[in-house]
Structure 1
Amino acid sequence: MWAFIHKLGSPKWFYAIAMRLQPWFWTAALVLLAVGSVWGLAFAPADYQQGNSFRIIYVHVPAAILAQSCFIALAAAALVFLVWKIKVADMAAAVIAPFGAAMTFVALFSGSVWGVPTWGTWWIWDARLTSMLIQLFLYLGVIALRGAFLSRDSGARAASVLALVGVVNIPIIKYSVEWWNTLHQPATFTLTERPAMPPEMWLPLLIMVLGFYCFFIALTLMRTCSEILKRESAKRWVRELADEAPGGKR
């Protein structure tokens, strides 16, 4: 296991593995998102209380779940970078933060759109909504800190520390509906209970969640590979890749 992790710390080895995995995850993301979208938006039955307005969950719930998972991944990469000084972990963190911020914004915006017919308002200072907004600010803080220093290493360390501090907000988001009296409904999926929705409604939602995750992995692999090529441009193996590319030197 440690040998595998050590290999992942090598930009050259990670690049080779990531390039082989990308097509699989892109294909899975495309298929899952297409199936989940058509099933959920066109064929799933309308909710008996919310009608067709409930269908926004097929975007809102996957985005919200993924936004939190991205921050956990960001904190894990930050820990690996701070403790073991693995450059690839910092490269991954650099590309995860903007994507996580985008997913958090999508979750907040779609939740607000959902809130109009459900709660009668675009926004309320509900514990779940407020903690998600704090997460967006944490993402933006991580991104800003990374570019606020003249030294890239100093910016990376500062951003990593904020990511580790900010991860404490994740359990607050998750358990906010249980700790406080909130308007937000409980979790749609749990590991201990069956979903309250019928299978024809939660199965396409599960497919959409898996599709979002595959999209996240594929995009992270692709952008991390680009970051590796940019930072390692002076290395011999990168120059050899450039020479072998179409239009490169032979």
Structure 2
Amino acid sequence: MSFPCFTDPERFYKSVGPLAKGCFAVSLVLFAVGFYMGFFVTPIDYRQGNSYRIIFMHIPAAWMSLFIYVMMALYTVWGLVTRSKMAPAFAVAMAPTGALMGFIALFTGSMWGRPTWGTYWVWDARLTSMLILFFLYLGYIALHEAIDDYRKADRAAAVIAIVGALNVPVIYFSVRWWNTLHQGASITTRGTSMETTMFYTVLIMVAALWIYCTGAVLERTRTEVLRRCRREPWARAVALQGDR
């Protein structure tokens, strides 16, 4: 099965705009529901009090940062193997959104760490490997922007995307491999140790961030496609019309 709008730059640019806007609208609704449940429905934690509520942003952001990096690496490999025009555009578009998720995860984790550990930052294996992931995102973006020819930039930045993917399992398994301050996973394939309303609130916020990131990546990909195809007649016509 083929999806022309996701393989042809012109079709993608002209057809995906409404989908991106729809994603933003749905994510806004889910964010509102998630924040309401997180602050007014879920109970106070008997150990951490109200400070635990930051997990409703911290956990989804951390998950999305890891997921986006894996997808960025996969699209990079796909582009190198198939010479696809769209694959590297997707990879480039994912990096800023993934970096944003990484920053949110690190920031909220620090805010959570202060009342829990008594400090904003420790050189814990999970925190340090997550910081490395954030720097990998920034390195990918900086290297790609430093090279004018986007084809050469794609190949150069591919090294960071592919090699950096090795850090993802390190982040995930760090709390098992080393004695760390960071607590283990509250949600696993075997179930969850979280209270029911807390668990569902986390899932709602995961869905909200997932859909938001989808819309953000689609919109950034449209911009990247227009930049790469700026010499083609359809792209010039779009630029002249100011049609976004």
- TM interval, short-chain normalised: over 0.9
Aligned partner of 1:196 among 168, 193, 198: 193
> In the TM superposition, what is the alpha-carbon distance from 1:54 to its structure 2 partner?
0.2
Q: How does 1:1-250 map to 2 (within 5 A)?
A: 1=1, 3-4=2-3, 8-191=6-189, 193-241=190-238
Sort the Cα spacing of 1:233 and 1:210 in 2 relative to 1 into closer, same or farther, 3 A: same
Q: Distance in 1 between matches of 2:236 and 2:138?
A: 34
1:171-217 residue CA offsets vs partner (Å, 9 max, x unmatched): 110111111111111123222x2211111111111100110000000
Sort the Cα spacing of 1:112 and 1:243 in 2 relative to 1 into closer, same or farther, 3 A: closer
Unaligned runs of 5+ in 1: none
Sort the Cα spacing of 1:106 and 1:114 in 2 relative to 1 into closer, same or farther, 3 A: same
Task: Say if 1:78 and 1:161, in contact at 8 Å, map to a contact too.
Answer: no
Q: Distance in 2 between matches of 1:91 and 1:114?
A: 35
Letter in 2 for 1:8: F
1:17-72 residue CA offsets vs partner (Å, 9 max, x unmatched): 42242233122211111100111122211111000000000111111111101101
Count of matched residue pairs: 243
Q: Distance in 2 between matches of 1:138 and 1:226?
A: 22
Q: Distance in 1 between matches of 2:230 and 2:152?
A: 21
User: What is the RMSD of the two structures over their aligned residues, measured on CA atoms?
Assistant: 1.8
Task: Say if 2:5 and 2:15, in contact at 8 Å, map to a contact too.
Answer: no
> In the TM superposition, what is the alpha-carbon distance from 1:241 to its structure 2 partner?
4.1
Q: Secondary structure at the match of 2:180?
A: coil
Q: Distance in 2 between matches of 1:63 and 1:182?
A: 20
Q: Distance in 2 between matches of 1:53 and 1:7?
A: 45
TM norm structure 2: 0.93
> In the TM superposition, what is the alpha-carbon distance from 1:136 to its structure 2 partner?
1.0
Q: Secondary structure at the match of 2:192?
A: coil
> In the TM superposition, what is the alpha-carbon distance from 1:240 to its structure 2 partner?
4.3
> In the TM superposition, what is the alpha-carbon distance from 1:245 to its structure 2 partner?
5.9
Q: Distance in 2 between matches of 1:210 and 1:116?
A: 27
> In the TM superposition, what is the alpha-carbon distance from 1:242 to its structure 2 partner?
5.1
Unaligned runs of 5+ in 2: none
Letter in 2 for 1:136: F
> In the TM superposition, what is the alpha-carbon distance from 1:160 to its structure 2 partner?
1.2
Sort the Cα spacing of 1:18 and 1:7 in 2 relative to 1 into closer, same or farther, 3 A: closer
Sort the Cα spacing of 1:165 and 1:81 in 2 relative to 1 into closer, same or farther, 3 A: same
Letter in 2 for 1:201: M
